[in-house]
Structure 1
Amino acid sequence: MKTSKTLLLAVAMFLCLFSCSRSEKLAPLKPVTEEQKISPAVIDYREEMRNFVIGISEYAKAQHPQFAIITQNGIELITTSGESDGTLSQAYIHAIDAVGQEDLFFGYTDDNVPTPAEDNAYLRAFLDRIKADKKVLVTDYCSGQTNMNRSYSSNNSNGYISFAADHRELDNIPSYPAQPYGVNSNDITSIAQAKNFLYLINPQNYSTKARFINAVKATNYDAIIMDLFLDTNDPFTAAEIDQLKVKANGGRRMVICYLSIGEAERYRYYWQSNWTVGNPSFIRAEDPYWSGNYYVEYWNAGWKNIISGTDTSYLKKVLDSHFDGAYLDIIDAFDFFENI
């Protein structure tokens, strides 16, 4: 199964300051040796990711009980066996408020191309296990009115809310449709109430915070997923995030912060000039497809403390900036470690 990951824009320093969602197959993997299979020290990488997410949720909700935790991809984590008909992992499911899934109906093999029926069915088998209790947010990568309409109607008929992204870079507000699918003026105080969302995590087309804020304020999306930073040295303040919480029609919306937890990103504020593979020890390998993104031992205390749980952590900055939730990406990093 294809792994979805974060798109690094590295054209110039300005473009390298933002992470975008991306979806590619991993490089050829080395076979697991018999010695590795029987080693008593083998790590349960899926359980470690579940534990990481649970810890992030506990830390955030202790400070803000209504703070939403949404995990993107890695949907296999909802069952203890990793099979769609397996026992649900109740502790993990209890810790999250929604799940995100890329490429469900479009984009799995290429942008604007329908996802193969077999892969779509595989993903929906998991998503349908959880949709009664947790909101499902689907991002399809397609363009043109015909395919975008198909994406929205297919997701709606399956009980998911969705965003048809006509730019894989997630750097724009699509001009079509003119209003979000399922537009409404209701106040949205939990992600369960949302009928649509905007995925805009790469603000490269907005030269100032004011331009970004004004563009979003002019929309009626129930939720927006965005980055904490306009650029590395310019995070959005609490007052600025508060401005984004009112839809153009007057209803309240949720503002969700994108946060990669399975890879370290070289363009983030926490990156030190002497960091490289093996230093610090939790940095394991550079993503072969996305320069500047590094797989991390996400179970390592050093990495966990960067992301969550301390007053200097990334998540604390998100909470202090008045975001309503976090959208956790690279949840499926367990694929990398299971296959190296």
Structure 2
Amino acid sequence: MKKLLLPITAFLLLSCHNDMDDTGAENSNNTGETPGETVIDYRQEMRQLVMSISVKGKVSNGNFAVIPQNGIELLTNDGDPFGSLNIPYLNAIDGHGQEDLLYGYDSDDVATPSDETDYLMEFLDRSKEFGKAILVTDYCTTESKVTDSYTRNEDNGYISMAAPQRELNAIPDQAPHNENANDINHLSDAKNFLYLINPENFATKQDFITAVSATNYDVVLIDMFLGGESFTQQEITQLKTKANGGIRMVICYMSIGEAEDYRYYWQSGWTTGTPEWLEAENPSWAGNYTVQYWNDEWKNIIYNTPGSYLDKILNTGFNGVYLDIIEAFEYFEE
């Protein structure tokens, strides 16, 4: 039945794409800052990028999970937590990732201000009510705060990870919260996840694979590359089995709001303004540059040509993508 419905789903998403181009987001490469030029709807352009990735991913694999991280305001048409939901966007995704919900907003191992937590939860709860999985990453190490993070997130109906390092370079010492031997075939089946996208503490791919394979996390979020070398399809298949024999999902991290100077697509000579869609370097993360994500050249890198980043992810056998820097729209709105 899913195979029969898949082309229809893709058609509906693509139809939404066309409708939105006519009524809202403009597929233009200008910034909208010069008089006479079209003003770009930065939020809708980010939604459209996520939806386009979803269409291609789900046409290739009907169970391919698409999870945007942060930028939760895209959930509603007006960015208000009680505004009307953007249904095409919600239909395109399988969950939301949210950092710093309870700990880490101002500083690691420090409680997030309650008003910020409440604001984010107003959006997250609406997504959850729409059937989407909520993956929370809190940054805390004090034992009582770690316990509080897992307890409160579970009470809220979210799955979570208390990350010991902001760099996401370590497996927590404690066993996964709600550890189980279940087979995880859909994101909604998961009770926990591991967020491990920085492999700097692992000398080789095999060291990394051995360490992750020894865990029982339901979902593992990793980078596609280690030391500039891509994981193979066989290696990803190996990672899909938990230590207790259960099957898990392996999701690939992909930044779509920033270009990273250590990626395979980066070219010598690139700097702010060259190419024209490459914006300022992130002052908090050296080597990461905001991009005009609506630009066709960037779309071609990410998903819109054979051999694109998304194609590499699909061909390697990942169960989905975890999309970062969704909130890049804020940079252009300021």
TM normalised by structure 1 equals 0.87
* Matched residue type, 1:211: D
Unaligned runs of 5+ in 2: 1-31
TM-aligned CA distance change 1:39 to 1:104, over 3 Å: farther
Q: Which residue of 2 aligns with 1:279?
A: 274
Within a 5 Å distance, the mapping from 1:144-183 to structure 2 comes to 144-176=142-174, 179-183=175-179
- 2:316 aligned with 1:321, yes or no? yes
Q: How far apart, in 2, do the equivalents of 1:40 and 1:221 lie?
A: 49
Q: How far apart, in 2, do the equivalents of 1:37 and 1:283 lie?
A: 18
Q: Which residue of 1 aligns with 2:79?
A: 82
- 2:110 aligned with 1:103, yes or no? no
1:104 match: secondary structure: coil
Q: Which residue of 1 aligns with 2:67?
A: 70
Contact 1:309 1:316 in 2 (8 A): no
Contact 1:99 1:134 in 2 (8 A): yes
Q: Which residue of 1 aligns with 2:216?
A: 220
Q: Which residue of 1 aligns with 2:242?
A: 247
Contact 1:255 1:324 in 2 (8 A): yes
Contact 1:103 1:138 in 2 (8 A): yes
Q: CA RMSD in A?
A: 1.3
1:328 match: secondary structure: strand
TM-aligned CA distance change 1:227 to 1:117, over 3 Å: same
Q: How far apart, in 1, do the equivalents of 2:35 and 2:115 lie?
A: 33
Unaligned runs of 5+ in 1: 1-34
Q: Which string of whole-angstrom CA distances, capped at 9 and with x for unpartnered residues, describes residues 37-70 of structure 1? A: 9866211000000000000000111111111000
Higher normalized helix content (fraction of residues): 2
- 2:180 aligned with 1:184, yes or no? yes
TM-aligned CA distance change 1:126 to 1:194, over 3 Å: same
* Distance apart, 1:290 and its partner CA: 2.1
* Distance apart, 1:289 and its partner CA: 2.5
* Distance apart, 1:309 and its partner CA: 2.4
Q: Which string of whole-angstrom CA distances, capped at 9 and with x for unpartnered residues, describes residues 259-318 of structure 1? A: 000000011110000211121111122222222111101000100010112222111111
Of 89, 93, 96, which residue of structure 2 is paired with 1:92?
A: 89
Contact 1:155 1:161 in 2 (8 A): yes
Q: How far apart, in 2, do the equivalents of 1:317 and 1:296 lie?
A: 21
* Matched residue type, 2:318: F
Q: Which has the higher contact order (CA 8 A, sep 6+)?
A: 1
Q: How far apart, in 2, do the equivalents of 1:43 and 1:287 lie?
A: 22
Identity %: 55
TM-aligned CA distance change 1:37 to 1:103, over 3 Å: farther
Q: How far apart, in 2, do the equivalents of 1:40 and 1:280 lie?
A: 20
Q: How many residues align?
A: 302
2:323 match: secondary structure: strand
Q: Which residue of 1 aligns with 2:134?
A: 136
* Matched residue type, 2:295: N
Q: How far apart, in 2, do the equivalents of 1:38 and 1:119 lie?
A: 36
Q: How far apart, in 1, do the equivalents of 2:70 and 2:85 lie?
A: 16
Contact 1:72 1:328 in 2 (8 A): yes
* Matched residue type, 2:212: V
Contact 1:241 1:323 in 2 (8 A): yes
2:289 match: secondary structure: strand
Of 120, 125, 128, which residue of structure 2 is paired with 1:123?
A: 120
Q: Which residue of 2 aligns with 1:194?
A: 190
Contact 1:140 1:151 in 2 (8 A): yes
2:304 match: secondary structure: coil
Q: How far apart, in 1, do the equivalents of 2:37 and 2:264 lie?
A: 37
Q: Which residue of 1 aligns with 2:259?
A: 264
Contact 1:255 1:323 in 2 (8 A): yes
* Matched residue type, 2:216: N
Of 286, 291, 300, which residue of structure 2 is paired with 1:291?
A: 286
Q: Which residue of 2 aligns with 1:50?
A: 47
1:180 match: secondary structure: coil
Q: How far apart, in 2, do the equivalents of 1:337 and 1:213 lie?
A: 39
* Matched residue type, 1:215: A
2:235 match: secondary structure: helix
Q: Which residue of 2 aligns with 1:331?
A: 326
